[in-house]
A and B are shown apart, each in its own frame.
Chain A
Amino acid sequence: AQTVTQSQPEMSVQEAETVTLSCTYDTSESDYYLFWYKQPPSRQMILVIRQEAYKQQNATENRFSVNFQKAAKSFSLKISDSQLGDAAMYFCAVFRGTSYGKLTFGQGTILTVHP
């Protein structure tokens, strides 16, 4: 089985502040990949950041970084210097590293950014 849990239905942050979105997952695979996607009101799905499970170093993309704790199966997203354009639904996802390609998402976290 492969599951992803986002325990924070909603989060809010002040513009220019930092916020962390939580994600835990469960997979029996040893080889897998983790993703954070952003969905603005337009419903478009946008890749924010990805992490290979075999890499210990946390991924970073500009203001977005992750805290990957493999043993705890935790994959949180940190957004620094939050901007109004960061307001969206954020989804965590896990892809198992087999040839069958199952890609599982969490429930999502709605992020509100206050000016």
Chain B
Amino acid sequence: DAGITQSPRHKVTETGTPVTLRCHQTENHRYMYWYRQDPGHGLRLIHYSYGVKDTDKGEVSDGYSVSRSKTEDFLLTLESATSSQTSVYFCAIRPTGQGTEAFFGQGTRLTVV
């Protein structure tokens, strides 16, 4: 167990509603990531963080925002959910050290209807 928890694990929401996914770690690792996984697209990076209040965009950041006000929590917000954001979302954490392994949460299945 890498000490990473995603919540909720499953969510169904309506188009146009805001949604926040939470990633919580107990490892005090510096780096945290949000990915979405879709068939044919693999894992695509949404946003990532390299420290408290330090975040950057990934390849598919449109429609998403993040916040990291403390080391252990990395929040992903869909400001106004759309059906194209139906996906499985993964959070990952990495300790400092360039060759270190990333550890993943169990994923959140989000359905936007």
Residues of A within 8 A of B (CB): 6, 9, 31, 33, 35, 43-45, 47, 50, 52, 91, 93, 95, 97, 99-108
Known: A45-B90, A100-B56. A91 touches B42 (CB 8 A): yes
Q: How far is the CA of A9 from the CA of B50 in the complex (A)?
A: 31
Residue on B nearest A107 in the bound complex, by CB: B42
Majority secondary structure, A binding face: loop
Residues of B within 8 A of A105 (CB): 35, 42-45
- Say yes or no for B76: interface residue by CB 8 A criterion: no
Q: Which residue of A lies closest to B44 (CB)?
A: A105
User: Are B94 and A101 touching (Cβ within 8 A)?
Assistant: yes
The answer to whether B88 touches A31 (Cβ under 8 A) is no
Per-position 1/0 for B69-103, Cβ under 8 A of A: 00000000000000000001010101000110111
Which residues on B sit within 8 Å (CB–CB) of A35?
Answer: 101-102
Q: What is the total of A-B residue contacts with beta carbons within 8 Å?
A: 61
Chain A residues with CB under 8 Å of B102's CB are 35, 45, 47, 93, 103
| A57, B41: Cα distance in complex, Å | 30
- Are B106 and A44 in contact, with the CB atoms below 8 A? yes
Given contacts A44-B106, A45-B90, contact A99 B41 (CB under 8 A): no
Q: Is the CB of B45 within 8 A of A9?
A: no
- Distance between A24 CB and nearest chain B CB, rounded to angstroms: 14
Contact flags B10-43 to A (C-beta < 8 A → 1, else 0): 0000000000000000000011010100001111
User: Given A43-B88, A44-B104, A52-B99: A106 and B42 within 8 A (CB)?
Assistant: yes
Do A101 and B43 have beta carbons less than 8 Å apart?
A: no
Separation in Å of the A94 CB from the closest CB of chain B? 11
Q: Are B90 and A101 in contact (CB under 8 A)?
A: no
A103 engages B98 (CB within 8 Å): no
- Do A45 and B104 touch (CB < 8 A)? yes
Q: Are B33 and A100 neighbours in the complex by a CB distance under 8 Å? A: no
The CA-CA distance from A111 to B45 in the complex, in Å, is: 23
